Amino acid sequence: MRTINEVQQAIRSLKAQTGVCILAHSYQSPEILEIADITGDSYKLSAAAGQTDAEKLLVCGVRFMAETAGLLNPEKQVYEANPAAGCPMAEQFSPEEILAEKAKYPGCAVVAYVNTTAAVKAVSDVCVTSSSAVQIVRNMPQQEILFIPDCNLGAYTQKHCPGKHLHFMPGGCPHHSAITPEEAAAARKAHPDALMLVHPECRPEISAAADYVGATSGILNFARKSGHREFIIGTEISIVQHLTLECPDKRFYPLSNRLCCPDMRITSAADVLRALMQIADGSAKPLTLPAQTALKARHCLDEMLRLGG
């Protein structure tokens, strides 16, 4: 059996041979983050995907992240390290359902969380990530906004954009939104000296009880820079592991052990190696999207980078 170091070594030589650039979301495992060329939250990955010179990109995360990289790089070949990894929130509403809801609010703009399919982006006006939603909604000329699909991120955005009128559909992350105020209270009781840092995909009652609310990058940076020594982490459980490795002098506790995204967890270093071997022998299938969908969805992402940059 090969050790993880040997698998990583094989990945590094295949990367050099194929010229593939590996993008990995911060929720991936440490062994994947170690061999990735670009790591970060959804916003950083989207911005970096449009800037790399590599002709082939391999995405470790979930499908909408690979789609986003493909939309921003129509001339490049984009591959998924594990095509079974999808984000359940991205598929909660169909384009038809969104258009029917939009028709209820004449003149409104549709703001789509980047955690959506390309088909949903194609019927939206602008995309946002959790780290850019407030800034982008503030910068938009429209007052009436249909914010889809995450109503928790939507409520957080509404709170910080009082001049706007946001409408919602009942969507959200099944893992972040499942965390209850009772779990948050229990974590506080167990770790009374810890600061609680949570992702805006959590319910508004959880965000209201937190010491800091922010996207993955915000949570990581807050914990790194803070003079505090203990933190309760209210986002995907991998972030507890990453921060524990990175800041051994600090203590990190999960807000709940249930805050685990199986889709983010299924990609292994062995999947990355297999994908690279298939890219090298020409048998890997790059992601494809219908041309019209891609054109309209791309506009939505360009607007995100323009208004959020």
43-51, 82-90, 179-187, 222-230 -> range binding ligand SF4 (CB under 6 A): 82-90
Q: Indicate the residue among 165 and 258 with the shorter CB distance to ligand SF4.
A: 258
Answer with the entry of ligand SF4, ligand 13P, none that 88 interacts with (C-beta below 5 to 8 A by kind). ligand SF4
Query: How many other CB atoms sit within 10 Å of the CB of residue 52?
Result: 15
Q: Indicate the residue among 201 and 303 with the shorter CB distance to ligand 13P.
A: 201
CB of 91 to ligand SF4, least distance (A): 10
Mask 131-170, x = binds ligand 13P (CB under 6 A)? x---------------------------------------
Task: For residue 73, give every residue at least 6 positions away whose Cβ sits within 8 Å of its Cβ, in sequence order, or none.
Answer: 49, 50, 57
Q: How far apart are CA 36 and CA 23, in angstroms?
A: 6
Give the one residue of 77, 124, 130, 267 binding ligand 13P; rule: CB under 6 A.
130
Answer with the entry of ligand SF4, ligand 13P, none that 42 interacts with (C-beta below 5 to 8 A by kind). ligand 13P
Give the one residue of 66, 89, 111, 123 binding ligand SF4; rule: CB under 6 A.
89
1-9, 128-136, 163-171, 294-302 -> range binding ligand 13P (CB under 6 A): 128-136
- Structure-block tokens of residue 183: 């779990």
Q: How far apart are CA 114 and CA 229, in angstroms?
A: 33
Side-chain-side CA neighbours of residue 293 (13 Å): 13
Picking from 264, 285, 301, the residue whose alpha carbon sits closest to that of residue 24 is: 264
Q: Which of residues 255-274 bind ligand SF4 (CB under 6 A)?
A: 261, 263-264
Q: Indicate the residue among 80 and 263 with the shorter CB distance to ligand SF4.
A: 263
Q: What are phi and psi of 66, to 5 degrees?
A: -70, -40
Q: Indicate the residue among 28 and 73 with the shorter CB distance to ligand SF4.
A: 28
41 scored as a contact of ligand 13P (CB under 6 A): yes
129 scored as a contact of ligand 13P (CB under 6 A): yes
Query: How many other CB atoms sit within 10 Å of the CB of residue 185?
Result: 11
68 scored as a contact of ligand 13P (CB under 6 A): no
Cis peptide bond upstream of 74, omega within 30: no
115 scored as a contact of ligand SF4 (CB under 6 A): yes
CB 197 within 8 A of CB 230: no
Cβ burial 53-91 (10 Å sphere, 16+ → b, else e): ebebbbbbbbbbbbbbbbbbbeebbbbbbbeebbbbbbb
Q: Which of residues 140-199 bind ligand SF4 (CB under 6 A)?
A: 173-176
CB 49 within 8 A of CB 75: no
Residues that bind ligand 13P in the complex, under the rule CB under 6 A: 41-42, 115, 129-131, 173, 201, 215-216
Residues that bind ligand SF4 in the complex, under the rule CB under 6 A: 62, 87-89, 115, 173-176, 236, 261, 263-264
